[in-house]
Structure 1
Amino acid sequence: MSIPSQTETKASLVRWDPRKITEWLMKAGRGITSADQLTAELGRLLVEAGAPVYRIRIGLRTIHPLVVGSAYTWWRDKVDVEAYNPPHGIMESADYIDSPIECVHQTGQPFRRYLEDASADELHSTLATLKASGATDYLAIPLKFVFDDLPTPLIFVTDRLGGFSPQDIESFNQIALFLAPVLEVHSQHMTSHALLETYLGPRTGQKVLSGQIKRGDAELIEAAIWYSDMRDSTAITEVLSHDQLLKLLNRYFEVITKAVTNHGGEVLRFIGDAMLVVFPTDKQRNLIQARKAALAAAKDAHIEIQRINPLLEKEGLPSIRYGLGLDVGEVVYGNVGAPDRLDFTVLGSAVNRAARIENLTKEAGCSLLVSEQFASQLGDTFTWLGDYKVAGVEVPLSVYCAYCDSP
């Protein structure tokens, strides 16, 4: 039988009660909506209870096009919780391979590692860095969620001599049982929010998430409307491979979406290679400001497309050329469709006019055309091209050009 060291004996004599924390998780803790705030409060309560915690890390997986989840790290001697969103591909990196987190993911079992007497050469880089900061013991507890096959590690680190005692580990396991269902709610909410924002946009996604989901749920808003369409797409589809076509379209969509988002617009729909975008008014932005935002986004996109076209040609891809129509007015913003299959979009004459104006860009020889309503009160930025009769609109449209060097 081995005799515990003096430091281990001291550690085992330090007892603390986790019941206040588990009670908090069942009551006030489960009502906290921010994962970083939840992590911070957990750390504070553990210290208050006398737990030997130096660092806590909580990880949440999600479904998102850019990241695999979010991790929240609390340090006893730091004010703010550190938030990190690991990108796709992290599981092929040196930071993950052979790490404690990979071990928990693969085995579904707790991972414990004394650091006090360990050599840095025998430790994974994560553990070596912690040891260098003064950590003496590391514990990762797998949290198992109902709708996730991969366990989520809950990590506790101490800098106390002797590391964690058996009583510490027992108390951490009790806390983990109560924390798991709370974190699963956060994980599911994060995933729902990410999916809605990815496929519907931030403004529209939030409306759906808040319960605006019935057919006919809609509101009248004033907005600048953007309708753009990629040119020569039929011919391009015939000559490019599927991979090349997707690469070209994604570059085009990426440029437009970034420009639009940077100026407060929201992409409502990708329609083949066309895009419907809205710049709504709100308490911070009136209709003139919405028009200016749409125009600024259009100019940013135009400049960026001109910059990347030579790069695309070097990759054996055709240059991106597109037409853009801008209009402004009152539109219906909400749910339309069948009772059980809906689309959240905008409807109204401004949407129809923007699409018709975009269709005139080829005939007019101008890549960006705007309506008279859009051009008014914006100064002499535009050149009047004339009145055009278009399908579906009784009165000829008075059309203005912003620039005529069509991309």
Structure 2
Amino acid sequence: MSTTEQTAPLLEVRGLSIEAKGPDGPLVLTEGTDLTIRPGQTLGLVGESGSGKSMTGLAMLGVLPPSVRVRAGQVLLGGTDLIALPEKELRAVRGGRIGMVFQEPRRSLDPSFTVGDQVAETIRAHREVSRKQARNLAVELLDRVRIPDPGTRAGQYPHQFSGGMCQRVMLAVALAGEPEVLIADEPTTALDVTVQAAMLRLIKDLQEELNLGVLLITHDMGVVAEVCDDVAVMYAGQVAEVGPVRDVLSAPRHPYSAALRDATPDECRRGELLQAIPGQIPPPSAWPSGCRFHPRCSLAVDACREAAPDVLQLGRTRVRCARATENLTENSANNSTNNLTENSTNDSTENSTNNSAKNEGAGHGAR
């Protein structure tokens, strides 16, 4: 599904700005973020660490750290602004209509309760069922996220599960409230390659099966190419470019989008050096004037340094770049880039995906 299809949005982020308390006053962490998630669509939110991706996801659920707050903007779920909801009403949405999978599943799971009890607790918080029904539904959810022998594993504790299996448990918890939207924040962090592939395939399958809207937060363009329909590229608290994955990867309009793509390992470019992005993303206290990427951009001109660029609509893509209409990055798109999107899901990946849950589960019982 592309952004051009006339499907009513499930979730819309409009002009979202987030700020934190700083030693010399408020620090703006994100500014003017616009995102749209539709039923059956996976939107990737990609960028380096420190770009504001995770803060955006936390703000959408109203779980920002105490020193951080939403400065402006709306998060609309079915027309209801979640930012304006009282905490009691927001709790019904959080874990209910919106589920979230966090980066570090072991920190999210309570070590003193079995995984089955933790899934069942979430079910009872959002559905009117008995304890026995919740327990049975928890086992069904563990089976749905492809945990082997779910009836037995439901009675085990988080320390008896591998990292990949803990992430599957967290996915079951996220699905327990029958959500319309799933937010997955770096769900494959610290997992080995085969387990990563299995987790991504599982999320994609569940999205298609349940017609979920999915926001996938990641730093990896390869992950975006594999499972996302659309992508929003974030840099220094702003969305630099957003559009269909194929358009952004094959002909990126923003130099940062092109740089992220070219820094992504590609099987078809084996033996070639990856193109590292010079410098580092600046902290919010040191954001430059003009385009925030200009200190690291080889294509920057005086206009990029002097004034913040407007957001332009170019075909199916929106881009924040003063030189976007010059197609500066179009010539850098080559066959290997197309292969990122065409070859990311192939037979070998699917085979490893189908087998990895069995192999992983077999080797990680009580330990």
TM-score by length of 1: 0.26
Query: More relative contact order in 1 or in 2 (CA 8 Å, sep 6+)?
Result: 2
Structure with larger Rg: 1
